[in-house]
Structure 1
Amino acid sequence: MTGETVSPAVMDQVYKKYKETKMNPQKLMDELGIDVTSMDNRETLGMGIVRKETELNHDEKLFLLAVERGDLPSVRSSLEESLTYMNININCVDPLGRTALLISIENENIEMIELLLSFNVEVGDSLLHAINEENVEAVELLLAYQTNKKDLSGLLGAVPSSSFTPDITPIILAAHRDNYEIIKILLDRGDRIGKPHDVRCSCLECKTRAAEDSLNLSRSRINAYRALASPSLIALSSKDPILTAFELSWELKRLSRLENEFRIEYETLSKSSQDFAVALLDQTRGSKELEVILNHNSAGLSNDGDRENLDRLRLAIKYKQKKFVAHSNCQQLLASFWYEGLPGFRRRHIIFKVLLTVTICICYPILSILYLLLPKSFLGRFMRQPFIKFICHSAAYMSFLFLLILTSQRIESTIKYGNNPQKNIREVRGASPTIIEWIILAYVLGFTWIEVKQLWDDGAKAYVQDMWNILDFIPNALYIATYTLKLVAYLRVQDEIAQGHTDVANLPRSQWDAYDPNLISEGLFATANIFSSLKLVYIFIINPHLGPLQISLGRMVIDILKYGFIAVLVVFAYSCGVNQLYWFYAEAKQRDCDICTAEGGSACECDKYLAK
Structure 2
Amino acid sequence: MADDTKGFTQGPSGGQLFTLDEKKFFSLVDEGDVNAVQKFLEENPGFDINCVDSKGVSALQMAVHNHDGGMVTFLLDQRDILLSDCALRAVSEDQHSILLLLMERMAVIHPDLEFAGCPDSAYYPEYMTPLMLAAQCDNYEIIGMLMERGHKIQHPHPPKCSCNCCREALKDTKRGERLLDVYRAITNPTYICQNSTDQILTAFELNKELMDYASTDLELRPTYLDLAKKVRVFATDLIGGGNCLVWGLVLMAPSVRLPQDPDHLQADDSAPPHSIHMFSKTQNRGWSLPEFAHQQNVEQLRYLHNLPDSCVHGVEPG
TM-score normalised over the length of structure 1:
0.39
2:84 is equivalent to residue 124 of structure 1: yes
2:206 match? 248
Aligned partner of 1:73 in structure 2 is 35
How well do the aligned residues superpose, as a CA RMSD in angstroms?
3.8
Quote the residue 1:113 is aligned against: 72
Pairing of 1:20-419 with structure 2 (within 5 A): 53=16, 55-82=17-44, 85-86=45-46, 88-120=47-79, 121-147=81-107, 149-160=108-119, 161-211=121-171, 213=172, 215-282=173-240, 315-319=249-253, 326=272
Give the secondary-structure state (helix, strand or coil) at the position aligned to 2:220: helix
CA shift, 1:186, in A, is: 0.7
Verify the 8 A CA contact 2:96 2:141 in the aligned structure 1.
Answer: yes
Equivalent-residue separation in structure 2 for 1:105 and 1:128 (angstroms):
10
Unaligned runs of 5+ in 1: 1-12, 20-47, 285-289, 295-309, 339-384, 388-459, 467-612
Deviation at 1:91, TM superposition (A): 0.9
Post-superposition shift, 1:153? Answer: 4.8
Greater helix proportion: 1
Query: Within 5 A, what are the aligned runs for 1:511-526?
Result: none
What is the CA-CA distance between 1:278 and the residue it aligns to?
Answer: 2.5
The residue aligned with 2:287 is none
- 8 Å CA contact 1:252–1:270 kept in 2: the answer is yes
Distance, in Å, in 1 between the alignment partners of 2:138 and 2:166 is 28
CA distances 1:265-309 after superposition (whole Å, capped 9, x unpaired): 11121121122222323479xxxxx9xxx9xxxxxxxxxxxxxxx
TM-score normalised to structure 2 length:
0.72
Count of residues paired in the alignment: 270
Mark the CA change 1:189 to 1:323 in structure 2 (over 3 Å): closer, same or farther: farther
8 Å Cα contact 1:124/1:159 also seen in 2: yes
1:151–1:79 Cα change, 3 Å: farther
Is the contact made by 2:158 and 2:209 (CA closer than 8 Å) also made in structure 1?
no
* C-alpha distance in structure 2 between counterparts of 1:56 and 1:461, whole Å: 59
Distance 2:225 2:250 in 1: 17
**Fraction of identical pairs, as percent:** 30
CA–CA distance in 1 between the matches of 2:25 and 2:313?
Answer: 72
Q: Match of 1:152, SS? A: coil
Cα separation, 2, equivalents of 1:275 and 1:81: 60
Structure 1 Cα separation of the partners of residues 273 and 167 of structure 2: 43
Question: 1:323 offset after TM fit, Å?
Answer: 7.1
The change in CA–CA distance for 1:278 and 1:66 in structure 2 (over 3 A counts) is same
How has the CA–CA distance of structure 1 residues 283 and 79 changed in structure 2, closer, same or farther, with 3 Å as cutoff?
Answer: farther
Contact 1:316-1:324 within 8 A present in 2 as well: no
Quote the Cα distance in structure 1 between the aligned partners of 2:74 and 2:311: 63
Q: Deviations over 1:132-191 (max 9, x none)?
A: 2222221111112223x2423522214322322121111111111111111111111111
CA contact (8 A) 1:277 1:324 kept: no
3-state SS of the aligned residue for 1:65?
A: helix
Residue 386 of structure 1, CA deviation = 6.0
**Inter-partner Cα distance in structure 2 for 1:122 and 1:183:** 24
Question: How many Å separate the matches in 1 of 2:33 and 2:240?
Answer: 49
Letter in 1 for 2:68: N
Between structure 1 and structure 2, the one with the greater Rg is: 1
The DSSP-based 3-state class of the residue aligned with 1:56 is: strand
Q: Does the 8 Å contact 1:278/1:323 carry over to 2? A: no
**Which amino acid in the other structure matches residue 144 of structure 1?**
E
Q: Which has the higher contact order (CA 8 A, sep 6+)?
A: 2
What's the CA shift for 1:17?
A: 9.3
5+ long unaligned stretches in structure 2: 257-264, 283-293, 297-308
Does the 8 Å CA contact 1:153/1:159 hold for their aligned counterparts? no
